[in-house]
Amino acid sequence: MTIRRMSLGMLTLTLIAALFLVGASQTRKNQFYRNLLMQCESLISKTEPLVPDSVNENQINEKFQETIQDSLAKIIVISKEGYAKEVRYYYKKNLMVIDRLDEREKVVRRDIFDAKGRIRIRTYYDYNGNRTRRDYLNIYGKRIDRESFFVPLGGRTGY
């Protein structure tokens, strides 16, 4: 065995380790986002029976979260013009999900937050409520992955 062969072996080993690292990172990343989606779904289903509170857009500030009394809360944010702008879901005073609404009060975008209040998943919907794509963001808000969904013929309405 020569030093050249041993060095090439070592370089190959580091390359394999790098491949494992990237591969393992995909699994972990997927697991993290899967957990977040599951938490989001369970939170939304738990808040379904609740009667949502309405607040004006200008009342939503940093101190707003502290005023929430219940462990589960569903808040409809009313815009200055008087229509429903978004629906916020809180768990133990932490903002978990924001559903952005259009003028027909249909959800067009869903932002899911992590425990530190950073948006990690952003899902887009078309006018018919079909999920069109989902972006996975890293802690800096940079998109690291995108998932596109099949929309049945005629389902997409120009969104």
Partner 1 sequence: MKKTLTQHWQNSVFLVVFVLFFVSINLGYYYFLVFSFELFTLFYAWLLEFAAFGLAYECTELFLSLILRETDLARLKKLKSCPPVALVCCTCDDVDINILKNLGNQTYPNLHIFILDDSQRKESQLVVDSSKFEVIRRPSRIGYKAGNLNNWLFRYGSYFPYFVVVDADSFIPDTFVEEMIHYAEHPTNYNIAIFESLIYAWNTKNGFVRLQNVMTPLVHRHRLRLDNRFESTLSVGHNNLYRTAILIDIGGFDQNYIAEDYATSIKILRQRKWLCKTVPVLSYERLPTNLTEYIRRQARWAFQTFQLLNLNISGLRWTIRLKIIRSLHHYLVPIVASFGIVMLVFFNLQRWMFYPSFHIEYEMVEMLIKSKFFLFWIIYLFLPFILRIILALRERVTIVEYLRSTLFHSALFVATIWPVIRRLTNFWTGDVLGFNVTGRSYSPTFLQIIKLGGAGFVLIWIALFSVILNPIFAGLNLIWILPSSLSPFIIYYYQNTTS
Q: Provide the binding-site residues for partner 1, judged by CB under 8 A.
A: 1-4, 6-7, 10, 14-15, 17-19, 21-22, 24-26, 28-29, 116, 118, 138-140, 144-145
- For residue 144, the minimal CB distance to partner 1 (Å) is 4
Cβ-based nearer residue to partner 1, 10 or 50: 10
Query: CB-wise, 48 or 62, nearer to partner 1?
Result: 62
Cβ 107 to partner 1 shortest distance, Å: 27
- Give strand ranges (E) for 58-142: 72-78, 84-91, 94-101, 107-113, 119-125, 131-137
Instruction: CB nearer to partner 1: give 9 or 155.
Output: 9
- Cβ-based burial of 52 (10 A; exposed 0-12, middle 13-18, buried ≥19): middle
Cβ neighbours, 10 Å, residue 75: 21
Strands 143-148, 107-113: pairing is unpaired
Q: Closest distance between partner 1 and the C-beta of residue 114, in Å?
A: 11
